[in-house]
Amino acid sequence: MFPFRKILCPTDFSEPSLCGLRLAADMAAGNDTEIVVVNVHRPIPHLPTPRDEAPDTTFDVTSYQEQVRTETEKQLATFAAEALPGDTKIRLVVRMGRPARKILECAEEEKVDAIVIATHGRTGLAHMVFGSVAERVVRYAECPVVTIRSCD
């Protein structure tokens, strides 16, 4: 288990997830450790086909989602390049679906040794409404999970 050979680091491009990425880099430093940086976003639900009386209102969901994926990959590459030292071994992954579920699936598929995930630290009503991806990952992950709230 130690040193870690592969660390999964989910990001939503927020300040806390930047701190998580830096922590993962610190954990990987001096070892031959790969950091798998993953971003998960929810897909647009497929809408019913428009009726004959409204033929001009079609929207190609598949094409749009591919554009979102391409833009997310670019953003992820920029985010990781700015946050990580140049010699860090990284791989970028973009997934679509429910974030906690896709993070856990990615961890299992990649056979990671640990997950480093940021938490926004929401409490009360905000926590009840939005839930916590980090909390679900901690609860169901089969590997160690390190959470970080901020860089302080």
Where do the structural domains in the chain lie, given as residue ranges? 7-43+57-148
- 23: tokens are 């922590």
Contact call for residues 116 and 23 (beta carbons, < 8 A):
yes
The per-residue pLDDT of the chain, averaged, comes to: 85
Query: For 64, phi and psi rounded to 5 degrees?
Result: -60, -45
Give the per-residue pLDDT at 54: 55
Is domain 7-43+57-148 classified as CATH 3.40.190.10?
no
Each residue's pLDDT tens digit, 37-58: 999 988 776 656 555 555 566 6
Residue 86 confidence (pLDDT):
82
* Mean pLDDT, rounded, for 72-87: 90
Give the model's pLDDT for residue 124.
55
CA distance 26 to 23: 5
* Kind and range of the H or E run holding 85: none
Q: Would you state the pLDDT for residue 126?
A: 47
In angstroms, the CA 7 to CA 24 distance is 7
Q: Which two three-digit tokens encode residue 119? A: 């938490």
